[in-house]
Structure 1
Amino acid sequence: MRDPRTLGELMRERGVSRRAFLQFAGAMCSAMALPAEAAGPMAEGLARARRQSVIWLSFQECTGCTESFTRSFSPSLEDLIFDFISLDYHHTLQSVSGEAAEAARRQAMKDNAGQYIVVVDGSVPTAAEGVYSVIAGQTNLAMLAETVEHAAAVVAVGTCAAFGGLPEAHPNPTGAVAIDALVKGKPLINIPGCPPMPQAMVGTLTHILSFGQLPELDALKRPRAFFGETIHDRCYRRPFYERGLFAHSFDDEGARQGWCLFELGCKGPVTYNACASQKWNGGVSFPIQSGHGCIGCSEPGFWDRGGLYQPLSAATLRPGQGRAAWLGGAAVAGATLGAGAAALARQRQNATETPAAGAATTD
């Protein structure tokens, strides 16, 4: 049965002070780009909430999403599981197996009908009626349909679940599809990444617990708090990009000076994620800081968008990418940004020299 105690009651039993609770809420608000004044309502919402039943399904995946989840540091995985959520089923982390594991999943579904959250990592094979991935005698197709039927919401973590990922890459022999291709009529959140950031997973669950609703999402159903800006927007190497200073190999002088990695295939200008601001491993670093360009792993079809070390070009940019496409297109020319600025200056000069429509002129 669902624990009737609130999170506030559980926190007090564990000796967690109100001050510590507010500090946690403040940290979450900061991570999710919420105003500081939201920390109070978030703490109050968490205190009133009950432990959230979570059923985690793993399908066509590499376990990297779970590995990332275990790296959660604020709160830690242990705090999250024992204090905030009830992780009732997880292929990798659960101690039981076989019939006992499936009985636990179905019991959690029954006890929390209409209230539990389903987290899914991995894509779902659909070819040959889904026989390419089977768990406890059930295809992923059947298990997903059964589990989400009475769920309150579905969270697709990792690019395989959100967009199909590597299993869906050409020629896609298993007919792999993303979760939103199969789940209809349910609130759904995509948290892509290969793997996804632990802050994004924990922050999203915290938002749902605190406010009883989904966070603001973008057109691809990603939380804007973590996917509202490109890697390029926050990258500390961007000043070199603006100046047209690019590394041309991983061991040249430009690379040693920390210049922009665009010409080494960095996909930062067209990749929306929080790596550059949140960073990884407790805020220590992120790929670009470690000397490797962004591979665009939180975007749809990143495996099929060209070589990881090929610079972005008009051929690799998708229509409708707006600002990101402009940034990528502009970067192809590198130092020609200066020429663009000069052209803009000429346009402004011409505008001041040309009389406005209807203005008086003299001979």
Structure 2
Amino acid sequence: MGLREKLELLGVSRRDFLKFCTAVSATLALPPAMAPKVAEALEDDNRPPVIWLEFQSCSGDSESLLRSGRPKAGDLVLDVISLDYAEVLMAAAGHYAEQAKHDSMEKNKGKYVLIVEGSIPVDEDGIYCCIAGDTAVNHLKKAAAGAAMVIAVGNCASFGGIPAAYPNPTGAKGVADLVRGVPVVNLPGCPMNCDNLTALIVHYLIFGTLPALDNQLRPKFAHGKRIHDNCERRGHFDAGQYVEKWGDEAHRQGWCLYKMGCKGPQTWHNCPTLRWNDGLSWPVMAGHGCVGCSEPGFIDTMSPFYRRLPEVPGFGVESSATSIGLKLVGVATAFFAVHGVVSVIRNRGAVKKVEEEYYEKEEK
């Protein structure tokens, strides 16, 4: 049975499938004309074998895969790929599961895609995570040696995530710290957005290569812009309109969450455009500031989550708001844009004072 027939059984019409292909093309920054190519790649019967390993994790990325949609992307991915091993999803257990993994690795050497979820502990010879009598480190290196590429899903697999936070008692590391000689792609997030995983796999099926990556090995189609660049609250930031307290009138009106600790200016991800829950919403849209979960070491570098940090790397680009205001919307709006920029500059130089005054007021 081909993919088209399977999708029809799942209640996905041909029209809905083509809409999905168009959405995937947009996610990959491909022109709409590429949608038929995407459909062709997905309908091709040459499914890439996939081995999904899970180490120090909460299974959040597996849950993200299973609960995705638009339309039924979880089912789509599972139908498009040959998922030969995945602890959370497979029926087999024990020796049978390990044998299935071994057989797939031997049969498809150099062809299978290795997906890794969770960080890998290395201290004390890796004893903090063992499967089938062997350490996570050894499982990873054996599986990566024969893979065509390795995809690290979630912040833990990408950068060590929560287990690697100070004091990192297990010596947790990300995949790229341990794998050599095989292409590695990081899809961070806590958890990763499955639509990005689908787009990455589609890119591989169409072009046979990896997409362009940034200096953190993240695909640029998903991590090429900061959250702040596409945030629907950006206009309020430029106008100097900030939420000062949870539940205040500004919060109810959807004003900027910068002062409440939003890490959008420091975070590179397509959350504002891709969103979650079938594109319904995302944390900032729902009134919660970004915590920077797609960035390396976010638990340490982005906390406290509800407090503005003293330095915002690369935030000087906000000076462009001044020229945009002057050129496009006139002097009046430019005044508000300048006000927002001045607020940022002032925050960079005296943010501690602002924070101290704010928290003193909260305590009273």
TM (norm. structure 1) is: 0.83
Asked if 1:261 corresponds to 2:253, the answer is: no
Q: Hey, what does 2:295 align to over in structure 1?
A: 299
d(CA) in 1 for partners of 2:248 and 2:5? 57
1:268-288 superposed Cα distances (whole Å, 9 cap, x missing partner): 011111111111101111001
**Distance in 2 between residues matched to 1:24 and 1:285, nearest whole Å:** 18
How much does 1:103 deviate?
A: 0.4
Whichever of the two has the greater Rg, that structure is: 1
2:2 paired with 1:10: yes
Counterpart among 260, 266, 271 of residue 270 in structure 1: 266
Following the alignment from structure 1 to structure 2, what is the Cα–Cα distance between the partners of residues 259 and 339? 12
* Corresponding residue for residue 103 of structure 2: 107
Distance in 2 between the 1:326 and 1:129 partners?
45
Q: How many residues align?
A: 322
Equivalent position to 1:25, from 21, 31, 40 = 21
Measure the CA separation in 2 of the matches of 1:182 and 1:325. 34
Partner of 1:337: 338
Q: 2:80 matched to 1:79?
A: no
1:30 and 1:45 map into 2 onto residues whose CA distance is 16
1:43, 1:111 → 2: CA distance?
27
Question: Which one of 59, 62, 71 corresponds to residue 63 of structure 1?
Answer: 59
Distance verdict in 2 for CA 1:340–1:278, change over 3 Å = closer
The alpha-carbon distance between structure 1 residues 198 and 64, as it changes in their structure 2 partners (threshold 3 A), is: same
Identity of aligned residues (%): 43
1:79-136 Cα distance to aligned partner (Å, 9 max, x none): 321x201111111111111000000100111121110000001110000000000011
User: 1:217 and 1:103 mapped to 2: Cα distance?
Assistant: 34
Distance (Å, rounded) in 2 between the aligned partners of 1:141 and 1:286? 34
How far apart in 2 are the matches of 1:57 and 1:108? 13
Is 2:273 the counterpart of 1:288?
no
Residues 43 and 210 in structure 1, CA contact (< 8 A), matched pair in contact too = no
Partner SS for 2:83: strand
Instruction: Report if aligned partners of 2:239, 2:340 keep a CA contact under 8 Å in 1.
Output: no
| CA-CA distance at 1:23 after TM superposition | 3.7
Aligned residue type for 2:59 = T
| 1:178-217 equivalent positions in 2, closer than 5 A | 178-217=174-213
Q: In structure 1, the residue corresponding to 2:53 is in which secondary structure?
A: strand
Once the two structures are superposed, residues 298-344 of structure 1 have per-residue CA deviations (whole angstroms, 9 ceiling, x without a partner) of 00111111310111322xx34xxx3x46449x9xxxx7833868xxx
The whole-number CA distance in structure 2 between the counterparts of 1:162 and 1:215 is 17
Among 157, 160, 164, which residue is 1:164 paired with? 160
Q: Secondary structure at the match of 1:68?
A: helix
Consecutive unaligned residues of structure 2, counting only runs of 5 or more, are 322-335, 343-364
1:154 pairs with 2:150: yes
Deviation for aligned residue 1:251:
1.5
Rounded to whole Å, the distance in 1 between the matches of 2:145 and 2:180 is 10
TM-score (norm 2): 0.83
Q: Distance in 1 between matches of 2:280 and 2:117?
A: 25
Give the letter for the 1:289 counterpart.
M
CA distance in 1, matches of 2:16, 2:307: 47
Give the letter for the 1:31 counterpart: T
Give 1:254 deviation, angstroms.
1.1
The structure whose residues are more often helix, as a share, is 2
Distance 2:287 2:214 in 1: 29
Residue in 1 that maps onto 2:309 = 312
For 2:309, give the aligned amino acid: L
Q: Which residue of 1 aligns with 2:221?
A: 225
Amino acid at match of 2:34: A
Residues 237 and 340, structure 2, Cα contact 8 Å, conserved in 1: no
Letter paired with 1:307? P
Report what 2:354 is aligned to. none
Where do 5+ consecutive residues of structure 1 fail to align?
1-8, 342-363
